[in-house]
Chain A
Amino acid sequence: MSAVTDAVPVNPPAHPVVQSVRDSLVIAKRNLIRMSRIPEMVIFGLIQPIMFVVLFSYVFGGSMNIGGTTDPSVYREFLMAGIFAQTVTFATAGAGAGIADDMHKGLIDRFRSLPMARGAVLTGRTLADLVQTALTVFVLAIVALLVGWRTHTSVGEVLAAFALLLLLGYAFTWVGALIGLSVRTPEAATSGGLIWLFPVTFISNAFVDSSRMTPWLQHVADWNPFSATVQACRKLFGNPGVSPSDAWPMVHPVWASLIYSVLIVLIFRTLAVRKYRSAAA
């Protein structure tokens, strides 16, 4: 086994940023390969939002008052921004469960014993999730068009709305990463990653007109980061039901959505990377 003692060509030490990008891409590729080998996960990730579109629009469709009308087709247009936003946030649970699983299987130990960039394992995972989220949103948009959803603005505005959605999803995967590193089992990460999403997505303007909520709930909904993205999407899509509230995030939803998402990334990335460095499987 002479090869064991042979010197192996290794890159000269790179700039930390270059190394971080390179390592993150290696990990992202690994996670994308995994996803392609577990297609069920991707498919279930698609079925759920499609079911929501169909259920919400046909079950709630006739009884929801949006901007003074209960016309189901108006509710359908109103609903889509909410469903898109909810769908991207569900990527959180996948990221959390994946990272908890890596910890459980000892892979995080292996990665931590390698001379690689510290944040790369988590960044790579969140990037792979972003790709999956984009794919899900794309399929969902097609389904939405089929059930009658339309945009009434320029292509640029529509693309900006999707960019904000993906940014929100990306931000939420960092919350999932932190949850995944904090729990003991992948199962706990899945349920722990989902539970908190229900209040966040329901105490918002996503599915109902928040101006009809009791005042304190409306206040929470207006300042909910999730609502800001939904409001921004409705505005950028030209869909009905834009909240008339005069809370700052509702008046400037595009800025609010951008600022909220960037803040979530900065805060939760810092916390998650710190947790990763001391993670004990």
Chain B
Amino acid sequence: MPGAIYAEGLVKTFGDVKALDGVDLDVPEGTVLGLLGPNGAGKTTTVRCLTTLLRPDRGRAVVAGVDVLKHPNDVRRSIGLSGQFAAVDEYLTGRENLQMVGRLYQMRAKAAKARAAELLEQFDLADAADRPAKTYSGGMRRRLDLAAALVVSPPVMFMDEPTTGLDPRNRQLLWDVIKRLVSGGTTLLLTTQYLEEADHLAHDIAVVDHGRVIARGTSDQLKARTGGERVEVVVHERDDMPAASEVLRGFGKGDTTVEEHMRKLTVPVTGGAKLLAEVIRELDTRGIEIDDIGLRRPTLDDVFLSLTGHVAEAKDASDEQEPGQKAAKEAAK
């Protein structure tokens, strides 16, 4: 039996750009799938196909047990969408935005009003509820957008890069909201450019590149493939390198890589910050002077490097821009 979100062979071409080149997905009910990939990988196009906004050229999709291509309007009753850019009416207040969305989900006026008040409270927007959304910060808009997607507590949710462009505090706030949501049993498909985010929120991760899923698994499985965490040390004196290498061998879970000219040594580890502290203490005890030391966690780039042999392309900051700038940039291409 297919999961709450199921896709098979989705293909979508824009002119001569193959945005989706046969995407297969299966998200069991009540779980979170992280769709991880660089800019232009096809994440948004996938979400748009699954949320009835875009008709794929080929393929099949079933969401909440309903065929997306055959009965799009029935799918719309069961989903919530928080798109890549906060889609709120900036001249309406937060409350008016949520009430409007409630009414358009066919809620009665009174119920929509009560639900809006409840969500504003939950999303920490009660104080700003009656101000036009124009006056909101980026983080507040994002929260309002997410609240709008949750008006009817849909069983299936889609979030397209919910935290891109947010500061750490707002990112954390949103992560908390998402975690609570998921603990309530919602099935969620979340796209992100950050391995850390997928790691934090998703049960399963599908890595996409050039419109195809190139790897899937839990975050541990993916990290294992990329070598997991590493400790990187840069020693001050070239002569100390053999001694440092010996220290690292004691802590490492694999071979130490040595870059002579940079006086840099790298070793895969498990144990995180605690282990890092021990390494530092041991180097100190032996009187090895260091210029730099750090714990390197695998990033999207590392995952990409190990899966494809090239780093994630086009992973620039353009997604943090306003949609207008992005559109202008795309038009200029």
Interface pair B91/A38, CB less than 8 Å apart? yes
If A1-B180, A5-B153, A114-B76 touch, does A109 touch B87 (CB 8 Å cutoff)? yes
- Chain B residue contacts of A266, Cβ below 8 A: none
B111: CB under 8 A from chain A? yes
Q: Which of A23-39 contact B (CB under 8 A)?
A: 23, 26, 29-30, 33-34, 37-38
Smallest beta-carbon distance A24→chain B, Å: 11
Please report the C-alpha to C-alpha distance between residue A94 and residue B33 in the assembled complex, in whole angstroms: 42
Size class of the B contact interface (CB-based, 8 Å): 35 or more
> Which of B77-85, B203-211, B265-273 lies at the interface with chain A?
B77-85
Interface pair B79/A30, CB less than 8 Å apart? no
- Chain A residue contacts of B48, Cβ below 8 A: 109
Q: How many residues of A contact B (CB 8 A)?
A: 40
Interface pair A2/B151, CB less than 8 Å apart? no
* Residue of A22, A33, A113 most packed against chain B (CB within 10 A): A113
- Chain B residue contacts of A143, Cβ below 8 A: none
Q: Which of A94-121 contact B (CB under 8 A)?
A: 104-107, 109-116
Smallest beta-carbon distance A72→chain B, Å: 43
- Chain A residue contacts of B153, Cβ below 8 A: 3-8
If A33-B91, A104-B323 touch, does A109 touch B108 (CB 8 Å cutoff)? no
Interface pair A8/B104, CB less than 8 Å apart? no
Interface pair A109/B53, CB less than 8 Å apart? yes
- Chain B residue contacts of A5, Cβ below 8 A: 153, 184-186
Please pick, from A19, A30, A105, A106, the residue contacting B100 in the complex, using a CB distance under 8 A.
Answer: A30
A214: CB under 8 A from chain B? no
Smallest beta-carbon distance A16→chain B, Å: 10
Interface pair A8/B107, CB less than 8 Å apart? yes
Please report the C-alpha to C-alpha distance between residue A184 and residue B324 in the assembled complex, in whole angstroms: 10
A10: CB under 8 A from chain B? yes
- Chain B residue contacts of A215, Cβ below 8 A: none
- Chain B residue contacts of A17, Cβ below 8 A: none
If A33-B96, A38-B91, A106-B87 touch, does A111 touch B331 (CB 8 Å cutoff)? no
A9: CB under 8 A from chain B? yes
* Residue of A13, A14, A33 most packed against chain B (CB within 10 A): A33
Residue of chain B at shortest CB distance from A187: B324
Q: Which of B100-132 contact A (CB under 8 A)?
A: 100-101, 103-108, 111, 115, 118-119, 122, 132
B214: CB under 8 A from chain A? no
Interface pair A23/B104, CB less than 8 Å apart? yes
- Chain A residue contacts of B151, Cβ below 8 A: 8
Per-residue CB proximity of B48-69 to A under 8 Å, as 1/0? 1001111100000000000000
Please report the C-alpha to C-alpha distance between residue A271 and residue B186 in the assembled complex, in whole angstroms: 38
* Residue of A106, A111, A184 most packed against chain B (CB within 10 A): A106
Please pick, from B55, B83, B105, B185, the residue contacting A109 in the complex, using a CB distance under 8 A.
Answer: B83
- Chain A residue contacts of B132, Cβ below 8 A: 37
Residue of chain A at shortest CB distance from B110: A9
Please report the C-alpha to C-alpha distance between residue A112 and residue B73 in the assembled complex, in whole angstroms: 10
User: What residues make up the interface of B, taking CB atoms closer than 8 Å to A?
Assistant: 48, 51-55, 73-74, 76-77, 79, 81, 83-92, 96, 100-101, 103-108, 111, 115, 118-119, 122, 132, 148, 150-153, 177, 180-181, 183-186, 323-324, 327, 331
Q: Which 7 pairs across A and B sit closest by C-beta, in order of nearness?
A: A106-B87, A115-B76, A110-B87, A1-B180, A5-B184, A34-B91, A113-B81
| Extra 5 A-B pairs, beta carbons < 8 Å, given A1-B177, A113-B79, A114-B105 | A5-B186, A8-B153, A104-B323, A109-B48, A115-B76
